[in-house]
Amino acid sequence: MGRIKTRRVWLSRFLVSLVSLAVRLVVLSFSLPSAVRPVPVIIRRGPELQRFRRPSLILPASMLPLTLLSFTLASLSIPGVHGHISIWHPSMYGFNVTQQTFPYDNRPVAPLMNMTFNQWWFHGHLDYPPNAGDVFELPAGKPATTELACNKGITSYWASSEGHTDVSQGDNPCPSSDGSFPSGAMHTTGFDDLKGCALAIAYESDVTKIQPEDFAVFSVNQTCVWNRFTDFQVPERMPPCPEGGCHCAWFWIHSIDSGGEQNYMNGFKCNITGSTSNVALAKPQVPRRCGADPSFKADAVPGNCTYGAKQPFYWFQAERNNMFEGTYAPPYYTDLYNFKDGAQNDIFVDSYVLPMPEPSANQTVLPELVTPNAPAATSRAPAATSSIPAAMPSASAGTAPARCSVCRSHRLDVQKNSLFGFQLRQKSFSLWHPF
């Protein structure tokens, strides 16, 4: 009875709002001229402002209310599915954040760009932690199934969504009002245009102590975000979490073909289950652009790759970026940055023979991967003696690449010398890690 009453209240409010909107549109039609003229519009695209003129649009005033009302009804045909994509689980920080929680739209599905550190780190949801006991379990050596969707109402947790209604459609992460697939929130032109997403882990139970450099990517799904139910393979050798558990985060940067410079990060509490190894993760390093790229460089440059544990991408924010690629060359969780599909099995302190060659565009010697059954040797890093992973030497030797000395600033309209610059779509940019 309570659920039926709630739905009746929601429906009555919806109808009142709809009637009110229709009345306003009718009134508006009589106050407008007989045609809508083109006006200059300023749109922000990355670090620059573009000014252009909309094409002429001639509409009789009598048609305007009907046109706008039709558009409104179409957009509301599936309640509460507007937005982008996020991982959803009760272990999330900000699991119950709504569009009204913050002065701006800071729902888990809201994209992150040009934000301060406090705004983008954990999506600004550190003050909205999960309930005690809500933890996402990651089985060592097995897949962890996540739910990705543009609204909580599409997931198994729809009962706590704003609409309190199940609007899911099978494995579709974001049903569209017209039935088309993929929907705009998926930011892809098709399956071949997917750019992958990642799960990263920090072996720290106190979220206030975690820094961006602490997260290590342990699993990648290169077909993300095509399915609502998305599997992430967990490396078999993942060590157990410390007392109090670990913290994880989901990361996604979509294709440039279907949206702007948007980042996605959602943190959650996690725990490794079924662990049979005490070998610690290596210190994660900054990923480097090194894979084959049909748009810029056809051949891969393996010597320029970062091998072993890698940090997630922190890109296009106002603070604390670790990636400085330009507007039209975003970083992706694909082979382009040596993120292989599936479990990242080379992220441990004993994964490679040490010392490792320093990555560079001219490096011809590649790191030597240690076979899992190889005997311990002096050239290999020793295994951790504690069941709790400690800070260990990096599995990706060498110094991190210089910070943005060869890139065009996102924040300042300053042209800098670049080792690998381009002109594309009347935009200048360069890659942070030159081939």
- pLDDT tens digit string along 269-288? 999 999 999 999 999 999 99
pTM: 0.70
| Tokens 């279907």, residue located | 258
Do 24 and 173 belong to one domain? no
Do 248 and 195 belong to one domain? yes
Give the list of residues 6+ apart from residue 391 with CB closer than 8 angstroms, or none: 283
Q: Under a CB-based contact definition with an 8 Å cutoff, are residues 247 and 201 in contact?
A: yes
The pLDDT of 362-390, averaged and rounded, is 56
432 domain residue, yes or no: no
Token pair for residue 190? 């098709």
Residue 13 belongs to domain spanning? 2-75
The number of distinct structural domains making up the chain is 2
Q: How far is CA 335 from CA 109, 174, 196, 346, 410, in A?
A: 26, 26, 10, 14, 25
pLDDT digits (tens, 9 = 90+) for 77-120: 333 445 588 999 999 999 999 999 999 999 999 999 999 999 99
Give the list of residues 6+ apart from residue 199 with CB closer than 8 angstroms, or none: 144, 146, 217, 218, 219, 220, 232, 248, 249, 250, 251
Q: Under a CB-based contact definition with an 8 Å cutoff, are residues 138 and 274 in contact?
A: no
28 domain residue, yes or no: yes
Q: How far is CA 36 from CA 30, 39, 58, 393, 418, in A?
A: 13, 9, 6, 64, 45
How far apart, in whole angstroms, are the C-alpha atoms of residue 302 and residue 337? 10
Q: How far is CA 275 from CA 114, 281, 330, in A?
A: 39, 13, 35
Do 54 and 91 belong to one domain? no
pLDDT digits (tens, 9 = 90+) for 120-178: 999 999 999 999 999 999 999 999 999 999 899 999 999 999 999 998 989 888 888 87
Do 95 and 27 belong to one domain? no
Do 292 and 216 belong to one domain? yes
- Number of helices and strands in the chain (H, E): 3, 13
Do 142 and 175 belong to one domain? yes
427 domain residue, yes or no: no
116 domain residue, yes or no: yes
Domain boundary residue, one of 75, 100, 131? 75
| DSSP symbols for 263-287 | EEEEEEEEEEES----PPBPPPB--
Do 66 and 160 belong to one domain? no
Do 45 and 145 belong to one domain? no
Do 109 and 207 belong to one domain? yes
